[in-house]
Chains A and B, each alone.
Chain A
Amino acid sequence: MEMSSGHKAEAAPDLSVSIGRLKLRNPVMTASGTFGYGEEYAEFVDLNRIGAIVVKGLSVTPRTGNPPQRIVETPSGMLNAIGLQNIGVRSFIDEKLPFLRRFDTPVIANFFGDSIDEFVEAAGRLSSAAGVHGLEMNISCPNKHAGWGAFGTDPKLMRDVITAVRAGTTLPLIVKLSPNVTDICMMAKIAEDSGADGLSLINTLTGMAVDIRTRRPVLANVTGGLSGPAIRPVAVRMVWQVCGAVGIPVIGLGGIMTAADALEFLIVGATAVAVGTANFVNPRVTIDIVEGIERHLSEEGISSVSEIIGSIRLPNRP
């Protein structure tokens, strides 16, 4: 290794962060729905080198998901309407969790329900499963008792469902916020007040694509969730605003493709980041980003990632 004269070999920067009681070796997590239950990626990535694995969303009853066409590429992004297809909590615990237990990486189970009862039952079952270190609550899913409007767009429903889940589990509880709201800070504060240990944002932005020859929506579900680089500026802005509004840790996600993208989120206040759609483009991207963050900190002479979290320098405003 070449060293310029006068250069002192420094210890590697400390990348460790904490989300409540969850200790992560580095701030890079996987975004739910983009990493399956880890198995497909194990051939490309050493799962022991990621900060945390957030698995595909789980419900008590398995879901088959939406008919095709489920995805479509859009400028610098994609729409998805997978339809929350999942094998169900029981099959996850019996069939998928054993594989994940082989690794020394916290597993965060993303979960949802179509009613408050289903949310509570899912959280309860996952909480008693060995190998689940934390829960991430997906409130962007439709509520069957409220005309299929999403939990995450109704303040009262938000409060009720988070409070109910909180009462039934002592595991670290992260609430994943929907950006499809007028005031994300209000939703963030409700989640904090209701007992969340952390927040993750943003989930996908609702979007749509139309085939001009057939004049039909491209997706069978008509609308879908927009993800990828196109949404990153919205995500960075929302993370910045929420970090200013709550005291609990925030996990930032939305279009992160590179270490530079991840650093934007950390600088505006996120304690950790999650990488999603980028995994489809490059299955090794999580490790590339961990290494990129480490390299950036070394080059800047920063000894710990915690030094840059929330370090944004804002202009003085009158």
Chain B
Amino acid sequence: MSRLFQSIIIENRVVTPDFRVLAVNPIGETGAPKPGQFYMLQVGTGEEPLLKRPLSIFRQRNGTLEFLYRIRGKGTRLLSSLSGGTEIQMLGPLGNGYPGPEGDFIAVAGGTGIASIFFLLESFPGRGYLFCGARTCDELLMLDEVRPLVKEICVTTDDGSYCSRGYVTEHLERGLATVPRLAGLPVYACGPEPMLHELTRLLDGRGMQCFVSLEEYMACGMGACLGCVAETKNGYKRVCKEGPVFPSGDILWK
């Protein structure tokens, strides 16, 4: 069983114009991923683009690995053009994953962050209070799939095009003030860095654990090149190895 393996693409499903779900079948036996972990995926066929791309594990079904991704740059655009039957090389599972949770928890997902939070919610069904937001309703994903997995859900859009208007952090702040059962629960978050930074600020002093999943440009994905570091109170830490999940209070936010 190796963390370096070949996979066959089963499908590359269009979810919205900008988002896809890639489903792959590993060839041979591979390790089972934990929520919050990621894989490095080959996106080119040769030396261009050179590097593999890191994607969070979104869902795992009978050995099939699924990745929910946004088409953002050269790598993801190429990935979106790969069709069923294509063989790609992969590395994983990588990273530390979300610790616990032992009981009920709060999950905060911003935009594409729903990808890694989804696997957490699916792995601990019926225990999560999900605060889920995006810029517009076009970027809200997997709402129907996620509703059965959570205790409660609060959906926000920055522009008010769906459900409540405002930032997901504003709604969490209001929830913590008005909903007693949320107090003291651990928080798991994945999304844009300004959201994670704001989340850290609003949770400061409340005595609630908060774990954030970071992203950084990666080359090797396995701790060797030292390219993907985040600045923490304990020095530089590798997002691919000591992370991608970190206690939010450890991070030196920009």
Contact = CB atoms under 8 A, between A and B. Distances in A.
A53 to B, nearest CB: 12
B201 interface: no
A77 B224 contact: no
Nearest to A276: B225
Interface in A50-77: 56, 64-65, 67-73, 75-77
B47 A71 contact: no
A85 B4 contact: no
B51 A280 contact: yes
A283 interface: yes
Interface string B212-254: 0000111111111111111100011000000000000000000
A301 B207 CA distance: 71
Nearest to B252: A67
Contact of A82 (B2, B4, B49, B226): B226
Contacts of A33: 225
Contacts of A284: 4
A142 interface: no
Given A34-B225, A68-B229, A72-B217, A281 B51 contact: yes
A166 to B, nearest CB: 30
Contact of A68 (B49, B216, B235): B216
Interface residues of B, number: 30
A78 B221 CA distance: 14
Contact of A76 (B47, B91, B235): B47
Interface in B30-83: 47-52, 75
Contacts of A82: 225-227
Main secondary structure of the interface of B (DSSP, over half): loop
A36 to B, nearest CB: 4
A257 interface: yes
Interface in B159-181: none
B147 interface: no
Interface in B187-228: 216-228
Contact of A73 (B51, B226, B230): B51
Contacts of B51: 73, 78, 280-281
Contacts of A44: 2-4
Interface of A: 33-36, 40-41, 43-44, 56, 64-65, 67-73, 75-78, 80, 82, 85, 228-229, 257, 277, 279-284
16 contacts: A34-B224, A36-B223, A40-B223, A44-B4, A68-B230, A73-B219, A78-B50, A85-B236, A229-B47, A277-B50, A279-B220, A280-B220, A281-B47, A281-B50, A281-B52, A282-B4
